[in-house]
Amino acid sequence: MKYPWRHVLSGNVSRVTELQSHQGNAEAESVGQWEMSTYAQVNRLRGVPETAFFWFHDRQGQRHYLWVTFSLHERAVSEADLSEVRAAFEEVFPGRTLEDNDWLPGDQDMAQVEVHVPDDFRRFSAFLVKDDRRLPLPVGRVQHFKLEPFTHWAGQTSDEVTPEMRKLFQMGPPV
């Protein structure tokens, strides 16, 4: 089953530059810096979220990496138990059927999976938000690092990033 939703960050965030999203139906998407405005504007259906990777800048301009899982335990070996996430989506989108996966959602149909970034970067929370509904989602494992500009991983330095890599990071691959 797919639902109309997208990821957003709230709290100590000035802008999201990249994200990777993995859904419970084994789909995944990666959104580069040059694609973020399109991601925020294009409506589409996705499976329930399983994990998300965010690269973002806080309100002071510091770059960060955040990885969040949306399950508290496994259903089977290495398989996340997404029953709480599915229950929240079914509450917000009651009565959906597989045939509903065939339509293109409008703006009024879209929900957000909001990950809240606290000022102290310690206790992250997540919610499914649609209209005036705000349902908590489980946040299992979390990994967070402060990063140097134009880097993606802890320990990587900006000195290692060439001008060509910076351009690719900002503009994407040549078309």
Per-residue pLDDT of the chain (175 residues; tens, 9 = 90+): 899 999 999 999 999 999 999 999 999 999 998 899 999 999 999 999 999 999 999 999 999 999 999 999 998 888 899 999 999 999 999 999 999 989 889 999 999 999 999 999 999 999 999 999 999 999 999 999 999 988 888 988 988 888 888 888 778 888 7
For the chain, where are the alpha helices, taking DSSP H only? 36-41, 83-92, 163-171
What is the pLDDT, as a whole number, of residue 170? 79
Lookup result for tokens 């810096």:
33
Q: How does DSSP classify residue 48?
A: P
Size (the chain), residues: 175
What is the pLDDT, as a whole number, of residue 163? 87
46: its two tokens: 């996705």
Q: How does DSSP classify residue 47?
A: P
What is the pLDDT, as a whole number, of residue 19? 96
Q: What is the distance between the alpha carbons of residues 111 and 108, in angstroms, rounded to a whole number? A: 9
What is the pLDDT, as a whole number, of residue 17? 92
Strand partners, 9: 115
What is the pLDDT, as a whole number, of residue 175? 73
174: its two tokens: 């040549």
What is the pLDDT, as a whole number, of residue 146? 97
What is the pLDDT, as a whole number, of residue 71? 95
